[in-house]
Structure 1
């Protein structure tokens, strides 16, 4: 990993992980293992620390947009893709248990997944969890992404995706990068329009979750669906 010679071999991240386990490592050390190599003037550990400082911590570094990461000094395409792959693997591992559950009976699991997927984003993104007749997950898909405070969602496009996935129901989720999880008038209007559009093709809107950082508001639980 191009670590400086002054660090004893037993104190290097890879050796510490092998002897003490991953839990013993700091975030920057784990990130350095993913980056693998540094650049002239900075080893992998220093590069990892700089990346975390730039993006406000581990979560921000892993969630940074791929095109932006590629432009960071010392990163490049290979390192940026490695970080993106780690984040996607974590997302898939998180969602895997949902595929064998009745999601109506496990609202906390759905909420947890949506927070993990959307809570860290700096732009607004809308996604849908498409469900079968048993309310088991078929697929989770991104529907739209936008600016800091807006992502354009069109009911006809959601209906088309629901039909393409042969869904019997769906859960809509989007984030508020501002940090306020309260539904806006536009959120409520979209929910009504989408519910009506889906009903025309016998697809049920189970819930609409609004995510803001580490919290999620369920419109179904609030009686606003």
Structure 2
């Protein structure tokens, strides 16, 4: 059955307008993005198939063009649209973070960092540099690859913090496996970075590990 044949209040777009975006399921939200399905398959059915195939919205956003193109009705244009939606969301959250008077809690940064890192297929290490009032000075990718001292040197991070005149830093990296448990290397480098920054009177405020659409805060876990 086509979506146009559904009762008006059950159609995703009309449901959004009447009840708000939070009332929609992941499949309904994705169906609005898709707009149309393929022969014999409505946009909602197609959205459900995509979510079943990839497991989650996060995994879907992280799929490669080749992976997505294997699904009927999902070609280069749809891949480009998905990536554009994801990047707009990242930039909007980054702007929100930078415009905040201050970052008052780990949750303020976690939303943005989870969106930025959660769908990546490779490990990325990001630093959020803050001034004395915990306002964002810069958000930068510091390295790619496994979080250890062969990829990220505490002295280089400290040098960047000095150049920015930063008073604090929130470190974040992702685990593409989705597992949030920090490794021994995660803990070791966190301790080394905290020590390097402390010698310059710069605080390491948090280290956030992202796995899929979830995150773990070192500060909230009592590890800093």
Judging changes above 3 Å, is the alpha-carbon distance between structure 1 residues 108 and 220 closer, same or farther for their aligned structure 2 residues? closer
Matched with 1:86 is 85
Equivalent position SS for 1:102: coil
Q: Does the aligned pair in 1 maintain the 2:143–2:152 contact within 8 Å?
A: no
Matched with 2:102 is 102
Structure 2 CA distance, aligned partners of 1:5 and 1:115? 33
**Structure 1 regions of 5+ residues with no counterpart?**
none
Matched with 2:27 is 28
Structure 1 CA distance, aligned partners of 2:3 and 2:183? 56
Matched with 1:209 is 208
Matched with 1:72 is 70
Matched with 1:125 is 124
TM-score under structure 1 length normalisation? 0.72
**Structure 2 regions of 5+ residues with no counterpart?**
none
TM-score under structure 2 length normalisation? 0.72
Matched with 2:5 is 7
Q: Does the aligned pair in 2 maintain the 1:36–1:44 contact within 8 Å?
A: yes
Structure 1 CA distance, aligned partners of 2:172 and 2:133? 20
RMSD: 3.6
Q: After superposing the two structures, state which structure 1 stretch, 22-31 or 155-164, moved more.
A: 155-164
Q: Does the aligned pair in 2 maintain the 1:127–1:174 contact within 8 Å?
A: yes
Equivalent position SS for 2:5: coil
Judging changes above 3 Å, is the alpha-carbon distance between structure 1 residues 6 and 189 closer, same or farther for their aligned structure 2 residues? closer
What number of residue pairs does the alignment pair up? Answer: 217
Structure 2 CA distance, aligned partners of 1:91 and 1:138? 17
Matched with 2:173 is 174
Q: Does the aligned pair in 2 maintain the 1:132–1:168 contact within 8 Å?
A: yes
Judging changes above 3 Å, is the alpha-carbon distance between structure 1 residues 166 and 46 closer, same or farther for their aligned structure 2 residues? farther
Matched with 2:55 is 56
